Structure 1
Amino acid sequence: GTPDPAAAQTALQAGIAAYRAGDLSTAETELAKASAADAANGDIASWYGFILLKRNKPAAAVPYLDKAVLAKPDVSDRYTNLGNALLLKPGRTAADTSRALESFQKVVTLTPASGEAHYNLGLTYSRLSRPRDAEKSYLRATELNPKDDRAFVALGQTYQSLDDFDNAANAYRAAATLTPQKADVWTNLGITESRRKTPDKQAAINALETARKLDGGNVQTLGILGKLYADTGKATESAEAFAAAASASPANTAAPDTATIRYNQGVMYSRAGKNTEAIAAYNEALTLKPDYYGAAFNAATLQYNAQNYPESSRLFALSTRLNPRSSPAFMNYGLSLLKQGDETGAMAAWKRSAELKPTDYAIRENLAGLYMRRKSFDDAIAVYSQNTRIRPNSGAAWNSLGLAQQRNGDLDGAITSFQTANKREPKFAPAYNNLGVVYEKRAQFKFAVLAYKKALAIDPGFAPATANLSRYAKK
């Protein structure tokens, strides 16, 4: 229709008044009337585009803001609004982003002393994944407006993206000084302090504790705080931070993540010697994540140490099911079963443990010891023989084999094993004593006495050799 400048101005003023009164809906209605009455008016287009942007209608705002900058190409606010509309536009294209960048660059050209202009340009560079350009813009923004906490936060985030944690920490500290009430700033400060080239973990803890006071329910803050306390040897504080993090986690969401937090809580309580609390934390982890091997194994270990063998057996059995390739789980399962008198079950568990770890000496020592107790000497000899191959230079390994051979009636084999023990580890007194016992059984008393004396020369306080030599002397 025919332009009606007077009606347009009336509607424009009504729209501005509504905006200033906080009534954006009425402002949009009035400015739509103004634009319809005088479509060529750049000022009306500028106001209408601005209100549409405020009403979260960036795509609708762009044509009017384009018209506004064409009407007055030297007004920086119009370029700012156009740039924001282009960035916020749903389905934004690469061309939209490029135009937004050009708009903010124009604002900087028009108002080079404006910190806001440089800040907005930095945001655009960040959206374009150009962190080095963003860094320059944010730095300039902080120089021009050293009280703009947003610029310091954005600068810190940019440095974080560049793995420059020293400068990131400095930026966040400046922001925290400006806005000490913002918990997220203190959290970011704590994170970056802990990741400096030379980490300042106490400074990180202090920052995170400040964040905790401001927002005690922040799971991220509490989780990081727990790790830092662990790193600095403060086990109880670490466990309590993890406990708070788990309690702050939303119910029925991210259960595996919360289970990990509970697991960490258990580890730290255990490190602090608070085993009852540790067991409770591990059990909570298992409730959240029933297939959590680490929680099951650690809880089982603590139950075993507390002499609660039925429960440790249950948890070690669970551990073997959750991780059938875990030799330690089968080993400890066997120990728990043996404590309850179940030698058959212990033997089966240790056999499996040994199969899974072909070069583990301790497992075979336990298994062979159980064979000896059950008088299964051939089986014991077979296992002890494996240990002599695992540790061929160990006097203890050859000594154990010799004892099994002796109990099995193979005195020649026993002598050979004890002599090998003496050769491989000349300072191992028990092998000389046991060699003396075998010589004595064979009525080779001279050799027996020499062997006992050799044992005592190595270890004058070795009681078995003293007793054997004393007994023989009485003969």
Structure 2
Amino acid sequence: MQEAWAVRAPLKAIGAIAFLTLGLGSCDRSITPSSPLSQSSPSLPSLSPVTATPPPVLSPPSAAERAAANTFRQIGLDYRNQGLYDEAIAALQKSVELDPNELSGRVILGWTLHLAGQETEATHQLKQALAQQPNDVSALNALGIVYLVSGDLNAAVQTHQQAVALQPDNEIGYFNLSLAYHRLNRSADAIANARRATQLEPENPNPWLALAIAHWDNNELTLAQEAYQQAIRQNAQYDSAAILDQLKFSGFSQKQIQLTETIQQSR
């Protein structure tokens, strides 16, 4: 992740949002599973915003188990690319079962659960990843996004603040902090974080939209329109109402999408 807009411009990332948001890389090869996969999910405990009870220390997997875990991980990514989330989750769960110490496998599973709308399970897996490695920015970014879209704004802020403290050029963290602060009616913080995101990734139109809505709700209408115009300069399709339907994939709430439409129509 070190590249990750969960929340990158939808035209760049909708189909592969987890790869761009988490910097996990894509899987191009198709693999057919050779055995049935369990799709059961355990009941999950209530966990605090970032920390979790570390998973039990297990013996290192054998070379064969690691290889099998990698194969199932690739199967899961292939299924996810096709939008087959149940099959993807089953394969990724098997991968984590075979090699529970592989951090990226748990983060990929957590993000896929989020894409499938299973936020409680996603939170659990991402917290387990952070219990293994508390300073993993990919896991923090992913967990912060899960909190954001779930409406747990204080937890989203806490998690993304930790992520940007660890990685000051973490454009994802600043972008999502802006969206969270805007929903918390903290306009100055929303503007500051959106501006930082536009500095770090000026070619991405979404941070410009975040800046636009933050200015608008701060009664800075001209600045809001200027920021929106910057988004259009990065991608001309942002001048169309059709783009509004895609913003939910980038972490915008329904009210924020409606506000974006208001700004779009005001120009």
* Smaller-chain TM-score bracket: 0.5 to 0.7
- Residue aligning to 1:72: none
- Write the letter of the residue equivalent to 2:265: R
2:222 aligned with 1:449: no
**Matched residues in 2 for 1:303 and 1:344: separation?**
20
Q: Normalization by structure 2: what TM-score?
A: 0.58
- Residue aligning to 1:305: 78
- Write the letter of the residue equivalent to 1:450: E
Is the 8 Å Cα contact of residues 282 and 295 (structure 1) preserved in structure 2?
A: no
Q: Closer, same or farther in 2 for the Cα pair 1:281/1:402, shift >3 Å?
A: same
Q: Closer, same or farther in 2 for the Cα pair 1:420/1:337, shift >3 Å?
A: closer
Q: Closer, same or farther in 2 for the Cα pair 1:282/1:297, shift >3 Å?
A: farther
Q: State the shift of 1:299 in Å.
A: 2.4
Q: Closer, same or farther in 2 for the Cα pair 1:401/1:282, shift >3 Å?
A: same
Secondary structure of 2:169 counterpart: coil
Q: State the shift of 1:371 in Å.
A: 1.0
Q: State the shift of 1:364 in Å.
A: 2.8
Residue 292 of structure 1, aligned match among 65, 90, 103:
65
Query: Structure 1 or 2: larger helix share?
Result: 1
Secondary structure of 1:280 counterpart: coil
- Residue aligning to 1:175: none
- Residue aligning to 1:382: 158
**Matched residues in 1 for 2:266 and 2:156: separation?**
30
**Matched residues in 1 for 2:180 and 2:131: separation?**
22
Q: Deviations over 1:393-440 (max 9, x none)?
A: 344431221011112222221011112223444444332332221221
Is the 8 Å Cα contact of residues 73 and 105 (structure 2) preserved in structure 1?
A: no
Query: How many residue pairs align between the two structures?
Result: 196
Ranges in structure 1 where 5+ consecutive residues have no aligned partner: 1-269, 284-288
- Residue aligning to 2:177: 401
Secondary structure of 1:462 counterpart: helix
Matches for 1:218-367 after TM superposition, within 5 Å = 273=30, 275-276=31-32, 279-280=33-34, 292-303=65-76, 305-306=78-79, 313-314=89-90, 316-335=92-111, 337-338=113-114, 341-367=117-143
Q: State the shift of 1:362 in Å.
A: 3.6
**Matched residues in 2 for 1:291 and 1:454: separation?**
51
**Matched residues in 1 for 2:72 and 2:101: separation?**
19
Is the 8 Å Cα contact of residues 66 and 98 (structure 2) preserved in structure 1?
A: yes
Ranges in structure 2 where 5+ consecutive residues have no aligned partner: 1-26, 38-61, 245-259
- Residue aligning to 1:372: 148
Matches for 1:133-144 after TM superposition, within 5 Å = none
**Matched residues in 1 for 2:189 and 2:96: separation?**
38
- Write the letter of the residue equivalent to 1:443: N
Q: Closer, same or farther in 2 for the Cα pair 1:327/1:457, shift >3 Å?
A: same
Greater than 6 Å deviation, 4+ residue runs = none
**Matched residues in 2 for 1:271 and 1:420: separation?**
33
Q: State the shift of 1:355 in Å.
A: 3.7
Same amino acid, percent of matched pairs: 19
How much is the aligned-residue C-alpha RMSD, in angstroms? 3.7
Secondary structure of 1:449 counterpart: helix
Secondary structure of 1:306 counterpart: helix
